[in-house]
Chain A
């Protein structure tokens, strides 16, 4: 049974500062919740670099390749027809549909992997129960620490956080 310490800040900078300094005070940052993306925050809280670009690239290429294959098979192998004396394998015009569909494929694959990594759609999360958490999507920045076991450490942490400008500090059980 772990407990978490939530510190709420007014700006991204404040939250960023707190996250940096917490390193020296061996407080472990679990996560941060912000209304807008805060540059450099992800690295601080130790998020692994995303591979979503690679996934989208592979997805896109695959879709395009399959589509071109379909064109080639239907026009050259399965139902070859003389159309205006053009070559059966008119690769130039054949490129266009795969291009468009390929891009869409990339987008779709990307969307799926985004949902998987971000765990969407999510029906409920204990954090939603935390009073005041709703402002995270509006104008508040919340940093989440692992709550130290020792009571005095806990006290120190809370004090320190308030000191560096946390508007509110509360804890949450999960």
Chain B
């Protein structure tokens, strides 16, 4: 249809494209350009909610689409204001979203407007026109077709898009001797290997947590960052309802070398080196009658194993074990066997991703081909091996030796620098495509906005390589699905799937597998020296999001570190080596050496060095460059996650570790700040504060709240600490980023923070999200000399920005310290790095004031949403319905830990929650009468163990 007019067909750029690029050179990412591009794409994209045709100015629309994480889809609804995507929300109909989001989904809207995004085709770093490249590529492909593509190699990340797979297949058919290689840094190689050993075929394990009563996670991190985090989190909490009897309350055992979100949410956690976790698995299998030799375990681990096995056995059909990506294939196979014995509630499905060869092998073969000069043409599609390939593979050197190399990606990054050509890739919110989630559910990816820059999609490039003179990704995607739709009217079907954001009946069916074979697995010897264990970062993941300022400044779970990573050491090791937080050590493996600041983590296994991937980028952009250190270089292609015999030596240098929380340990009476109840004793144990809800007696008159009385209840028992709410709040409320220097000065702007408290050295921490309490007797209000901090008739504690003179008396008198001050013009002229660029402003929520320098700000309960709902209600001359207003944090929360509503409405959920026994007010004894209140965290300890403790 009209795509040819709207944008260059295929690859060759029209003059419009040239103009745009010329304009670009004049003012990089300037407003003129950005606004010019600020319109809906030409094709018909279909609103999620049924609204009258055409866009009513000021009324935002929501469109359903999908965003990839490690190649897997998470369905989202994107809020679009006058053609600008401003906010990402979850799609309730999508199985990997369930209406919630994760930090990556929330932050991807900022990446769309990232000024550092690649905006032009480059040949050896020189900007050139698309048609120049098109010409060169055509001749190159002609040469390849002459030799049946024997010199042609494609390198991609994980590909789940059916259209892309179809195009790849066609291409490989046209070039029979060409090869397609895949490398996804965070991959499931071990899991597939295990499945192969156990069943003879690769399968994906989907645990049904909601049906599970006892779960043993062996170095697995289902609640951690990844495409399944939302789903797992929701099921995990669903299986832990306070109302349920202790019998039906999921008990979670976790054995892991270092803190993960899963360990932090466990009932029973054991810190154990990865090698010994293998022995633990063997011990469990042995208990279940496997004829295996269980290696030796520390007494503590032995005890842990007995308790776990006891529990697992006692709940046949309701108990399961799972192994993590860091464990070898054998352990995964062993877990399959154990689950079979337990009749575990896990679904086995055929993988969406290609299983064989594994990502590591695929990359290794490519490397060999290149070294052997078998590769003339290398096309790298949205992958960044130069940065994220394991350090013992010399990708950089290899790339140099390839005659014709092309990098097609979002950023002019490390790999682009090593390739002859770099092509700018369109952002998922700008392009037509399709994606599948881990369970196979497919979604159409529809663009929310015309490409800001002169970019193309993977589909367009592949089509062109296949010889198509002109093709639009829109047509390509529709082609794919025309072929698959079971007859009927395609257009109606198309509209349907665009509206819903999911394509029905695309989820994988359970795989028919034989009984799992018991793998041959020798017990491991206790490791000597230091073992380095790696994990994807909770904010950077594998480095894909390094240039996203929201994520850089999003405090990592448990450590609350920002703007960098660190080498985590156990308290014992640190003491032994005389290291303290911030000491820089030199980590060495083979000839690779990197310097890393030390961070001491009580509760981490001894002999373990833990760090996360995704840092130390040297060519991504103004935000992500030179932040932290690059742990990929220590990785080995053979064993990417666990590296034994790593050397560590103090350098004598120091480096400040930036965190937004400095005191994690609760001591003495301070425990009352964060009550943790045992589910078994829930009836007897009650938070100290329960009686004092409503605060102590007061002499002040009771203010009547006879319209609405907004109130929030946060269930700390349900909070898994994933940070989705923090980033959601930032996106919704135009909360600025302050940057590392300001963080170092002890300043930050987050309206919502997740306080993390350890109640003892070893036992898992708890998470306490702290927004504004909207106290009815707010200490911040009477101290404001200019009435900038006042109370409204619905009980909201308001901050009047344009009245604020910045005395900061309110914050100094706030016992919760939830107010944030613009010490500089963080959003008004003194932005960090390139965040002042006009294109970034396109993300701003038009309903929320951008605060000036010298002004205090804080959580408003998303007052813009409340007044929006009020306007609608008043137009329809009714009251606001129960649940009509939701806050951004509430929407984002994967576990629905945050409830918000009108206390005057007997039907509203907050009222029932406020009746719960676990309900308490934070610092309620101060008489502040907070409107935000909490439910105590729950722990389901093994009774046997609790007795031992007693």
Contact = CB atoms under 8 A, between A and B. Distances in A.
B794 to A, nearest CB: 11
Question: Which of A81, A85, A86 has the most B CB atoms < 10 Å from its CB?
Answer: A85
Chain B contact residues (Cβ within 8 angstroms of A): what range?
Answer: 10 to 19
Contacts of A82: 703, 781, 790-793
Interface string B682-722: 00000000000000001011010000000000000000000
Interface string A73-112: 0000001011111110010010000000000000000000
A30 to B, nearest CB: 56
A77 to B, nearest CB: 15
Where chain B touches its partner, the secondary structure class is loop
A139 B895 CA distance: 91
B778 A87 contact: no
Contact of A84 (B701, B791, B792, B793): B791
Contact of A83 (B698, B791, B929): B791
Contacts of B784: 83
Contacts of A93: 782
Contacts of B548: none
A86 B787 contact: no
B779 interface: yes
B339 interface: no
A83 B782 contact: yes
Where chain A touches its partner, the secondary structure class is loop
A87 B787 contact: no
Nearest to A86: B782
Contacts of A84: 775, 777-782, 791
Nearest to B779: A84
B776 interface: yes
Nearest to A90: B782
Contacts of A85: 698, 700-701, 703, 776-778, 791, 929
A156 B197 CA distance: 142
A64 to B, nearest CB: 20
Interface string B777-811: 11111101001001111000000000000000000
B790 A83 contact: yes
Interface in B762-784: 775-782, 784
B701 A81 contact: no
A158 to B, nearest CB: 69
A84 B926 CA distance: 13
Contacts of B777: 84-86
A86 B790 CA distance: 11
A83 B792 CA distance: 9
A81 B778 contact: no
B776 A81 contact: no
A58 B779 CA distance: 38
Question: Which of B698, B775, B777, B929 has the most A CB atoms < 10 Å from its CB?
Answer: B777
Contacts of B698: 85
Contacts of A83: 781-782, 784, 787, 790-791
A83 B782 CA distance: 5
Nearest to A83: B781
Contacts of A90: 782
Interface string B420-458: 000000000000000000000000000000000000000
Nearest to B781: A84
Nearest to B793: A82
B791 A87 contact: no
Nearest to B790: A81
Contacts of A81: 787, 790-791
B673 to A, nearest CB: 23
A82 B791 CA distance: 5
B700 A87 contact: yes
A131 to B, nearest CB: 60
A20 B576 CA distance: 98
A82 B782 CA distance: 9
A26 to B, nearest CB: 67
A96 to B, nearest CB: 13
B345 to A, nearest CB: 51
Interface in B841-883: none
Nearest to B699: A87
Question: Which of A81, A90, A93 has the most B CB atoms < 10 Å from its CB?
Answer: A81
A86 B777 CA distance: 7
Contacts of B779: 84
Contacts of B929: 85
Contact of A86 (B700, B775, B792, B793): B700
Interface string B811-838: 0000000000000000000000000000
Interface string A144-169: 00000000000000000000000000
A74 to B, nearest CB: 10
A87 B775 CA distance: 16
B701 A87 contact: yes
Nearest to B795: A82
B788 to A, nearest CB: 11
B7 to A, nearest CB: 54
Contacts of B700: 85-87
A79 B790 CA distance: 12
Nearest to A81: B790
A90 B783 CA distance: 13
A83 B775 CA distance: 11
A101 B777 CA distance: 30
A79 B777 CA distance: 19
Ranked 9 nearest A-B pairs via Cβ: A84-B781, A85-B777, A82-B791, A84-B782, A83-B781, A84-B778, A85-B700, A81-B790, A83-B782
Interface of B: 698, 700-701, 703, 775-782, 784, 787, 790-793, 929
10 contacts: A81-B787, A82-B703, A82-B792, A84-B775, A84-B777, A85-B698, A85-B700, A86-B777, A86-B782, A87-B700
Given A84-B777, A84-B782, A85-B700, 15 more contacts: A81-B791, A82-B791, A83-B784, A83-B787, A83-B790, A84-B779, A84-B781, A85-B698, A85-B701, A85-B776, A85-B777, A85-B778, A85-B791, A87-B700, A93-B782
